[in-house]
Structure 1
């Protein structure tokens, strides 16, 4: 029975540019969060305070993502043979939990304030929230282009949501300024909580699945199986497993029954290249078997 692994060289580490992006975005959002919270307390605006609390949650999440990106660069060891790249899967999970907690706190305070909405200066709310739009869109630009990285994708989506929330605060400030509608302040906070909860749910689902070694959402496992089964000389495919190793890195193992062939090394290199090009699977491990004692597990329980 022969065994093989892709011999293609892959860069297992995140580039310095990605880490710098996390650093800049984290520090920029922290500075704005402090500014927004200060004005929120000064004006007694729940819209600003709730958005500042939301931004603080994102700052904590971004800090986790930043730390995970740094930790992921650590080289493999005898005890951590894949290195620490899976830290980029745990960070979004923690981020989503933090966001979900903040959304509940915001909703509770907003409902309480509906009974006695305070007087809030609409102009200040508009100006500070407008700064937030610029900050969040600028920070999202730093995160753009890394959507195969769940870590960066989570940060990007949160920053876009923050920009939308800041826009809602601008509109609320305009309503309070022009019409004197003080109830817009807690209403905006309720909307913030809803936006946070919605974004947290999607990220929580994806990050939990990744942490549980689910097949990445963008990959059709049946298509991968069909591709492997169609390769020259392959008569059966079994023990097929696909999972995420970390940001932008997808692993796969498979047993291929290929009895009448002696070009296994060339075959494995060719298949590894095609798996990367077609499906983005860049860490395949293929085991070649000769067929007599092997059985297809397509209709059986997964083998571990």
Structure 2
């Protein structure tokens, strides 16, 4: 049995912070100041003008300021202690812990707003609409500005995952060809298409790998393109030569695994901060609608009803954040696609993966423990680390080799 405790990349450290860590930290401090000022104005205005929904919005903003402070302190602590050896796998998951805590705070906010709204439904009070509505509108503007500051003009949603490599363009005298590796729910195969309608009936593809291994792939018609009959073994790192009308057109494939940009890449600390501000923006919209309807039709119950609906929205967002951050803190597999791809890469040459542990170390960083059984006595841990080097998110890999 051979063991290897070193990671994929030699000379590594244990800094597993997100790529935009310091920028997110700065923006969080900016938003804290903005939310703090608006919080005081909304609470004072709601109490002075009799709007429970406006007071609820202000209280919600006050808890946002506290949650944002938690996020900022988590960023600061994680950055200052990133090299602290007391943290076996760095401080990258501190943001997930802060996000989980923020989600609990969101749930408590939802309960508080819901309680206050039900109380005001039972006992309506007079509202001074002329003063309350402008303050609620100002609160919405502040929330929109806060979201823009936190996001920095970028979205933070997951990206769609494409189960094939990008298409490679090949220019020939007869027309353009597009070659890709396709593996959407099927074993990987070549797909070749011609936008100009070039006949591909006599085309073959031959791959040459870095060790000199060659393989010929025959193509058949499939849904407006041609597809290889033979499947492509892992890893997808080779030169594919397209043979067409007596000419050869080489295409180089340098595979880098395209992991899904889901929980493996999310900065949940920043996500929690944005969710707090988005929740407040949603409540602000409902407050404005409730106040306008109450003023127009005399429906005083619309104001607390707006608060009740806002509580439901906040509770739903809180649940999603608790679910995702809790899974990371419990070291659940963060990306099933990556786990399956790692398994395929290791077992492509006939070896057997006896154990695999995959967990998140921080935004964009995964740790892995891989145990392999092989009959090839010359195969050591370095071989499997090279196989896994095409997974950019695998930042800390331990390999154990069992020789049968």
TM-score (norm 1): 0.85
SS of alignment partner, residue 403 of structure 2: coil
Structure with max Cα Rg: 2
Using the alignment, how far apart are the partners of 2:373 and 2:7 within structure 1? 16
Query: Residue 382 of structure 2 aligns with which residue?
Result: 265
Q: Is contact 1:122-1:172 (8 Å) kept?
A: no
**Unpaired segments of 5 or more residues in structure 1?**
293-304
1:95 corresponds, among 97, 102, 108, to 102
Using the alignment, how far apart are the partners of 2:281 and 2:119 within structure 1? 25
Q: Is contact 2:384-2:399 (8 Å) kept?
A: no
Q: Is contact 2:17-2:91 (8 Å) kept?
A: no
Q: 1:162 to 1:268 in 2, by over 3 A?
A: same
Q: 1:198 to 1:55 in 2, by over 3 A?
A: same
Query: Residue 136 of structure 1 aligns with which residue?
Result: 143
1:248 corresponds, among 361, 364, 368, to 364
Q: Is contact 2:74-2:94 (8 Å) kept?
A: yes
Matching of residue 20 in structure 1 with residue 26 in structure 2: yes
Provide the aligned length of Structure 1 versus Structure 2: 285
Query: Residue 7 of structure 1 aligns with which residue?
Result: 9
Shift of 1:117: 1.0
1:49 corresponds, among 33, 39, 55, to 55
SS of alignment partner, residue 327 of structure 2: helix
Using the alignment, how far apart are the partners of 2:107 and 2:87 within structure 1? 31
Matching of residue 239 in structure 1 with residue 243 in structure 2: no
Matching of residue 220 in structure 1 with residue 222 in structure 2: no
More helix by share: 1
Matching of residue 205 in structure 1 with residue 323 in structure 2: yes
Matches within 5 A, 1:58-207: 58-73=64-79, 74-144=81-151, 145=154, 146=156, 148-207=266-325
Which deviates more from structure 2 when the two are superposed, residues 262-271 or residues 116-125? 262-271
More strand by share: 2
Deviations 1:187-207 (A, max 9, x none): 111112111211111111111
SS of alignment partner, residue 87 of structure 2: coil
Which deviates more from structure 2 when the two are superposed, residues 47-56 or residues 243-252? 243-252
Q: Is contact 1:121-1:176 (8 Å) kept?
A: no
Q: Is contact 1:54-1:196 (8 Å) kept?
A: no
Query: Residue 38 of structure 1 aligns with which residue?
Result: 44
Using the alignment, how far apart are the partners of 2:85 and 2:275 within structure 1? 36
Using the alignment, how far apart are the partners of 1:197 and 1:245 within structure 2? 28
**Unpaired segments of 5 or more residues in structure 2?**
158-265
Shift of 1:104: 1.3
Using the alignment, how far apart are the partners of 1:130 and 1:282 within structure 2? 46
Which deviates more from structure 2 when the two are superposed, residues 124-133 or residues 199-208? 124-133
User: Cα RMSD between the aligned structures?
Assistant: 2.3
Q: 1:66 to 1:219 in 2, by over 3 A?
A: farther
Using the alignment, how far apart are the partners of 1:230 and 1:283 within structure 2? 21
Using the alignment, how far apart are the partners of 2:134 and 2:51 within structure 1? 13
Q: Is contact 1:137-1:163 (8 Å) kept?
A: yes
Shift of 1:120: 0.8
Matches within 5 A, 1:291-302: 291-292=403-404
SS of alignment partner, residue 243 of structure 1: strand
Query: Residue 299 of structure 1 aligns with which residue?
Result: none
Matching of residue 289 in structure 1 with residue 401 in structure 2: yes
